[in-house]
Chains A and B, each alone.
Chain A
């Protein structure tokens, strides 16, 4: 089954990350690269996203489309990236996500296969 993993950052995580020395940051990136490499046979692409401050949201449910600055949900937790994986079932996705060394929250969503 295909799932999309949505990586969610919290304010606290961002603060900790900013407080890291260049070396620590390098090691943190290294752990993430290693994770992608360990699971490369299951990963079908994805991207890291730019800051939520770069987001633009368009609402289409109120008559005329309304364009606003910022992510659709203003909050302390923001989606910071995503990746699509292809695994046997939810348990395999869970197993993978439990070793994720990056941001503190990951949402697993099955892909609707048409």
Chain B
């Protein structure tokens, strides 16, 4: 493990916890979060030189407290509270759950929820978030400042939602993590291995949530889904960094222990609950792929059944598009293409739609149309790995 990864891991293990305690103490989300962010930035400057301290949590706490006494000089009540606070802080129930629900409050814009969760719960710096999303640091900083102001001004509470609100609010949290996972998963290329691995953050967040809410089946479902995909990482790129489609991956390079762990997590989750939700279904689809020894042995009928269930819960054009791939293996490319045609208006701007269409057209021997569809996909994609793959197809 390189130092950068270790730093990220240590910071992530402690920053959110500290933020949680300080928000409770000060009753001011924004002020508390600023102190933690300052402490994290100081740590990232000093730890690579001085080494990671034996008790990083105590170190971060001390620095944040000192910063607080310094910065919050004018707020007498904050100072008084901070002065009374000494290490070790009372081991209270993990406050990070409240923190997560506040960061993912539905009254905040989606992008703000994502940025806040990364910064506050995972302890990323604004610069790291900006780099991960290829955004400017000032844009991310502004997004975070506005979100924090809204939390204070609009009275967004710092608490775990009541039982009757929990399903809806948890949905919001899982959406944020899922988007984070997707962003990391799709943007990962060989050249970007040194940038922040959002997939890692997404897995970590889901595992944290799973520990805090062990009886929520969709949390287990999302965790299994993320782990199932991560288990294939080693086979997703060629040594020179080109994307390898699932169909062409060397399955011996998958992490089969991780796959079987994710499968048993999914089985345990499913056994305890009826009617699987969308994340469990997606994980089950991923499991079908992971369990097949070769692409040819994939159980497409089972996958199609799972997509039919998913479509009932999530009748989106993108789900229908993915389902069409399963249809092509069960009922032939002709029927799949007919289903895709119905989506052409809604998914016209979506590169994967055209790439999928091209694949089916090629199988039907309609090479000219396939070429045009691939060209359209290449024109639309912003993802370098996808573009590489499409250009290679177009060249043949």
Contacts and interface: CB of A to CB of B under 8 A. Distances in A.
Nearest to B161: A91
Nearest to B152: A110
A29 to B, nearest CB: 28
9 contacts: A88-B155, A89-B155, A90-B107, A91-B156, A91-B161, A95-B165, A108-B154, A110-B153, A110-B155
Interface of B: 105, 107, 153-157, 159, 161, 165
Given A3-B155, A93-B155, A110-B153, 20 more contacts: A1-B155, A88-B155, A88-B157, A89-B155, A89-B156, A90-B105, A90-B107, A90-B154, A90-B155, A90-B156, A90-B157, A91-B156, A91-B157, A91-B159, A91-B161, A91-B165, A94-B107, A95-B165, A108-B154, A110-B155
Contacts of B155: 1, 3, 88-90, 93, 110
Contacts of B161: 91
Q: Is the interface of B mostly helix, strand, loop or mixed?
A: loop
B384 to A, nearest CB: 41
A72 B165 CA distance: 36
Interface in A76-114: 88-91, 93-95, 108, 110
Interface residues of A, number: 11
Contacts, number: 25
Contacts of A93: 155
Nearest to A112: B153
A94 B159 CA distance: 15
Nearest to A109: B154
Nearest to A93: B155
A89 B157 contact: yes
> Would you list the 3 A-B pairs with minimal beta carbon distance, nearest first?
A89-B157, A1-B155, A89-B155
Interface string A1-14: 10100000000000
A94 B107 CA distance: 9
A88 B155 CA distance: 8
Contacts of A3: 155
B264 to A, nearest CB: 37
A89 B98 CA distance: 15
A85 B195 CA distance: 47
A106 to B, nearest CB: 13
Nearest to B101: A91
A1 B153 CA distance: 10
A110 B157 contact: no
Contacts of A88: 155, 157
Nearest to B169: A91
Nearest to B153: A110
A89 B159 CA distance: 11
A86 to B, nearest CB: 11
A60 B153 CA distance: 28
A2 to B, nearest CB: 9
